[in-house]
Structure 1
Amino acid sequence: MKRPKRLRPPSARERAALIRVARREAPADVWLSGGVVLNVFTGEWLRAEVAFLGRRIAYVGPEAPRVGPETRLVDVRDRVLVPGYIEPHAHPFQLYHPWTLADYVLGRGTTMLIADNMMLFQLLPLPAWERLMAAFSAHPVKFLWWARTTPQAHDGRLSARYAPEHLAALAVHPFVVQAGELTDFVPLAAGDEAALARLSPFIEAEKRIESHAPGASYETLLRLALAGATADHEAIDGEELLRRLRLGYFAPLRHSSIRPDLPELVRAALEVPAAWSRLMLTTDGATPPALTDGFLDRLIALALEAGAPPAWAYRWATLNVAEYYRLDDAVGAIAPGRLADVNVLASPSEPTPLLTWVEGRPASELRLPEPAWERLVPEARRQKVRPAPLRPDDFLPPGAPGAPQPIVHLHSDVITVLAERPLPVRGDRIDPAALGGTLHLAALVDRDGRWVTAAVMSGLGEGSLAVASTFTASDDVLVLASSPERALEAYRAVVERPGIVWRIGVGAAEEAGFLPLPLFGRLSDLAMPELIERTEAFVRAMRKAGFPHRDPLYMLLFLSSTHLPRVRLTERGLLSVKDGRILSPVRRLSGPAAGGTA
């Protein structure tokens, strides 16, 4: 398996130089003196001297290294040294983008992100995505990627992105270490040869395969293992975790903004210590407000609070990830020849580092400007939404007198269920007088302005809403509103400037806000602290209006994503995911635009 240059083994010349430092024939570049080092192989906490030469660790042991006039001596007595943390399952496009996420997590001890490619891979030609992978590789945090093999929404516009020749190119790309996550897992579990063939280039290239099988039975998980799956992060309780471990899966333990399951999963894992070497920790694409208290450092702290032995809690975020991705000769341990990615902690119970070393240098000395998006991908900041010729009535779903009307009920942040009941109609559409209380309008408007799918929705709360977002899984525009007039107002605002726009209120009080998303209409260019503040304002406004779930940002993303149950807004209409029925048809548009610029 070909690796990026930063992760390739040292040359003979480099190995000879490392041995000279270990023999004290040559001085170290950096000497971390007197600290307690976590040996992730044995679980021991041992006082040791640690010496770096260039990017690598040359010595770990009881003896002081040779020093020279240029040796950087760092006193770490009363400190604890652990490896840099590795996130095995990042989604670096949750309003933030890869560079701003990496900037933020580096300060909290994460030195490698193994990340989802889906969002930009779907938007860009393959050569442009390859340029971006190369650009992101310049960040001090090491980026590796997984490659999606199918889109996350049943959308004919996306199928060309997943052509066999594109998947074959990604399978052998040095920055790609895994295929997945496999959200469309049903054909794989059924043995569909065409679906299985999409994984073949990755299996032949000896890459890992991660499934996405929420709620799957033992039998389904067994069949997915036969299809090629090597890991799955979707366990939400002890029984689901055991199913995966018994079948030989690696199992990332998830704690995200919509599935904060880590304490329960850790308590279940403690019952099967023989399986601890198959566990990892993941934030699974937590949205910005959920990152206020940290990243993997926070997950390690939660694992410790749940009773995990400290050495194992750290190993789940370091060595186990490196072993899973077959990178343990380079990262995941403070050991000879490994890259010098080291976190200096106040104590084992405090995983947020005082100082992080990345390839032999303090992280604080390694801040770099983010890539020039316009140069790498000129389309990055171009307007992505063409205004649709909409009138207020276009946001009203079709209806017939006395007939049951499909209602999309938001059961959780991302799971919907179908409710049906008659609603008053006016002409051939739902009467706006039916709205109010717990009923709102939801609409998905084509990014090219050609169609709209409208529905009645419940489960958003009881406040007045006018929300529009270009942050969606299908890359179209989602609108949520209390009336068709408010829906059109919000739509027009977001067509003018892509992002998330909101006017949300209870009674006479109303809060308005706007989060610009200038990159592809999906990503902010704000630094993480400011992005957290801006997104928290939207979350607070939704909760004041009665939104009953944890994360309305994920709701905006996933209402058009067909990998989740049970009802979704799509280009074909309101879709019943399980059986493929169209519950309410799409409306085709024509005529003058509703405002905005193409």
Structure 2
Amino acid sequence: MGPLSATPDSAALTRLVRVALGQAPADTVIRGARLVNVFNEQVEEPGAVALAGGRIASLGPELPGWQGPETQVFEARGLYLIPGLIDGHTHLDSIFQLGAYSSLALARGNTAAVSETAMIAGAWGLQGVRAVLAEARQTLMRVFFVTPSLVPPFPQWETSAGMSAGEIVGLLDDPACLGLGETYWPGVIDQDPRPQITFAAALARGKRIGGHAAGARGTRLMAYAASGVSDCHESTTAEEALERIRLGLMAQVREGIVRREMEAVVPALKDLPDSRLVSLVTDLCPLDELVAEGAMNVLAKKAVALGVNPARAVAWCSYNPAQYYGLRGLGAVAPGYIADLALVEDLTDFRAAMVFLEGRLVARDGAMLAEQPAFVYPPEARHTVQSRAVTLEDLRVPASGSEARVRAANAVNGTITREVEALAPVRDGSATPDPARDLLKMAHINRHAPGLEMGLGFATGWGLKAGALATTLIWDTCNIFGLGASDAELALALNRARELGGGWVVARGEQILAELPLPLAGAVSPEPVAEIQRRVEACETALRDLGCIQERPFLTAQTFCFTGLPFLRLTNKGLLDVRARRMVEVVL
């Protein structure tokens, strides 16, 4: 559906008034529902709600005039009526199609989301973003988007499909675009002219500028906020969240696949006198959690478990993000608001018994009743990998002697690396991996151009004793990245990812052990989320069987080349010291 319903015309407004007065029948009446009020953060006694023309006309004691011959009546029998939940910061532009996500999330009471588009922009440029927007327009749940401010974030060090400033600014005029997506703070406070152009364009249109202020505090955070940035989902401590709120930034508390920070942050926020600048976000929910439980309903459940007043928890997941983004008519159960609603069994688990979208029942007991239209990507989406195949000769790292001292990126955790030194065996004049000492070779290929532009390096902290992995799902370039215990296995995995048109591959010897094809722009699978999750688990199991010690290798592989986080990263142009902002040599 479109991101927001059309503004009611005079006839629609007159009808809402007449229904509210009991002078005209409602389209739908929900009886016996306990309203969760996000304005006064209270739960009200059971009452009735009248819906007309996709909006809420009135609530409270039922009026005789609400029922007509065509009025639908739903008996809530004490269930709790909450506004549809809204994820104010997520990434729905890769891994799965929007329709696959919508079918799972909407059925659990998640009626809207605000998605980044940096991954699909890096994978397929403006064409990719437009494809996602086209699917969003026919997806049942409301999907808004923010456009990346820089594609790629650091073109001097990395290559992606790319978008010009003019293309980015053009997207800001789309009604479904709520602003610019997260922009890494170092470039902003260093006064890079590129974000200044897109920031000014967003502010001129009254749109939001998303933040990514990991590690920024004090004067640097002040300068970042002064640039026009108005939110941040990177608070890892209560102190960081409170500092952002003090500066007027929306503190988007994250709980998802990348990090889980609610336990560290929420206790300090739950009793704030005014929590309008607090919202909960997934930053992309884990696939297994999405399949089994849902999305924002899981976060509301956890907030209550952490001691948050249930009505306040609901506001953090609905009204606050709606107000922040200017989504007038969403996020509350009140007269005149759009009737995106969920009836939940209780305010501890938030299990949805019924879900309404613009007053229409679309899901019951966690299962969709309305059919999600299928969206087919254009044929050219399957031909975005342009680089040639890799040979063993391509993977040579020239070195002399019997051993070479090399820089290696050590996987500290799922997202952070640090520089370490290691000794690599030298064979035939090339530094090679040494899995016995946890030293793997890694490669990063620019897939967006013919030929072969590739950076090479070494990695530790993975534990692989044999085999290799390769993936095109890497932040934010969607190039081809791989690491392996031998050059031959690394080449096999890299070339298989290329043959698939994108995906995730695990290889050993001459055999492909597991794979997840991502043929749509090299970043998206057309399969249902449950099948994608099954393949991810197969890939991770294969890696663990090969000795991988990373807790979440699917995530770690995505972030291992990510230049938005410290410290040592491999790009298609070579090895980058992120803090020093310079390319460095592999062999010391």
TM-score (norm 1): 0.90
* Change over 3 Å in CA distance of 1:99–1:382 after alignment to 2: same
1:145–1:176 CA contact under 8 A, matched in 2: yes
1:405-416 alignment, distance < 5 Å: 405-416=406-417
Q: Which residue of 1 aligns with 2:440?
A: 440
Give 1:435 deviation, angstroms: 3.5
**1:526 paired to 2:527:** yes
Q: Residue 432 of structure 2 contacts residue 487 of structure 2 at CA under 8 Å; is this kept in 1?
A: no
Instruction: Compute the RMSD of aligned alpha carbons.
Output: 2.5
Moved more, 3-12 or 549-558: 3-12
Among candidates 366, 370, 385, match of residue 370 of structure 2: 366
Q: Do the aligned residues in 2 keep the contact of 1:472 with 1:558 (CA within 8 Å)?
A: yes
For 1:10, give the aligned amino acid: P
How much identity, in percent, do the aligned residues show? Answer: 27
Alignment partner for residue 29 of structure 2, among 28, 31, 53? 31
* Secondary structure of the corresponding residue to residue 276 of structure 1: coil
Could you say which residue in structure 1 is the equivalent of 2:458?
456
1:235 is matched by which residue type in structure 2?
A: S
Q: What secondary structure is seen at the aligned counterpart in 2 of 1:444?
A: strand
**1:152–1:562 Cα contact (<8 Å) kept:** no
- 1:467 equivalent in alignment to 2:466: no
Instruction: Give the C-alpha shift of residue 152 in structure 1.
Output: 4.9
Corresponding residue number in structure 1 for 2:224: 224
Q: Deviations over 1:456-490 (max 9, x none)?
A: 21111243232121222322211221111111222
Distance 1:462 1:533 in 2: 22
Judging changes above 3 Å, is the alpha-carbon distance between structure 1 residues 146 and 408 closer, same or farther for their aligned structure 2 residues? same
- Structure 1 match to 2:557: 556
8 Å contact from structure 1 (residues 209, 231) kept in 2:
yes
For structure 1, the 5+ residue unaligned runs are: 587-598
Could you give the per-residue CA deviations for residues 109-150 of structure 1, whole angstroms, max 9, x where no partner exists? 110111112223344464674464144122221111111111
Q: Would you say the 8 A contact 1:511–1:541 is kept in 2? A: no
Q: Where do 5+ consecutive residues of structure 2 fail to align?
A: 363-367
* Matched letter for residue 466 of structure 1: A
After superposition, what is the alpha-carbon deviation per residue over 1:339-368, rounded to whole angstroms, capped at 9, x for unaligned?
A: 111111111112131111111111134222
Change in CA separation of 1:123 and 1:323 when aligned onto 2, cut-off 3 Å: same
Q: 1:465, 1:482 within 8 Å by CA — same for their partners in 2? A: yes
Q: What amino acid is aligned across from residue 90 of structure 1 in structure 2?
A: T
Q: Distance in 2 between matches of 1:581 and 1:128?
A: 30
Q: Which residue in 2 is equivalent to 1:499?
A: 503
Within-5 A mapping of 1:259-278:
259-270=259-270, 273-278=272-277
Q: Partners of 2:544 and 2:279 in 1: how far apart? A: 32
Q: 1:385 offset after TM fit, Å? A: 4.4
3-state DSSP class of the match of 2:467? strand
C-alpha distance in 2 between matches for 1:367 and 1:97: 15
2:39 equivalent to 1:41? yes
The 3 A distance-change label for structure 1 pair 53 and 260 is same
Q: Determine if the alignment matches structure 1 residue 11 to structure 2 residue 9.
A: yes
Instruction: Please tell me whether residue 96 in structure 1 is matched to residue 101 in structure 2.
Output: no
**Are the counterparts in 2 of residues 409 and 418 from structure 1 also a CA contact under 8 Å?**
yes
| In 2, Cα distance between equivalents of 1:141 and 1:526 | 19
* CA distance in structure 1 between the aligned counterparts of 2:334 and 2:320, rounded to whole angstroms: 15
Select between 89-98 and 141-150 the one with higher mean Cα deviation: 89-98
Do 1:57 and 1:336's aligned partners in 2 also have CA atoms closer than 8 Å?
A: yes
Decide whether the 8 Å contact of 2:343 with 2:352 is kept in 1: yes
Amino acid in the other structure paired with 1:486: E
Q: Is contact 2:461–2:549 with CA below 8 Å preserved after alignment?
A: yes
Which stretch has the larger CA shift, 39-48 or 486-495? 486-495
CA deviation map 1:65-120 (0-9, x unaligned): 52112111100012111000001001013411322222221111110111112223
Structure 1: which amino acid aligns with 2:570?
Answer: L
Paired residues of 1:454 and 1:574 also in contact (CA < 8 A): yes
The reply to whether residue 354 of structure 1 matches residue 353 of structure 2 is yes
**Distance in 1 (alpha carbons) for counterparts of 2:209 and 2:128:** 24
Question: Would the alpha carbon gap of residues 110 and 462 (structure 1) be closer, same or farther in structure 2, given more than 3 Å must change?
Answer: same
Match runs of 1:87-486 below 5 Å:
87-124=87-124, 126=126, 129-130=129-130, 132-155=132-155, 161-183=162-184, 185-270=185-270, 273-291=272-290, 292-327=292-327, 329-363=328-362, 364-374=368-378, 378-382=379-383, 384-391=385-392, 393-401=393-401, 404-432=405-433, 434-447=434-447, 448-473=450-475, 474-486=477-489
Deviations 1:308-358 (A, max 9, x none): 11111111001001110112x310001111111111111111213111111
Count of matched residue positions in the alignment of Structure 1 and Structure 2: 572
Return the alpha-carbon distance in structure 1 between the equivalents of residues 96 and 387 of structure 2. Answer: 24
Q: Deviations over 1:528-557 (max 9, x none)?
A: 122222212223333454544442222222
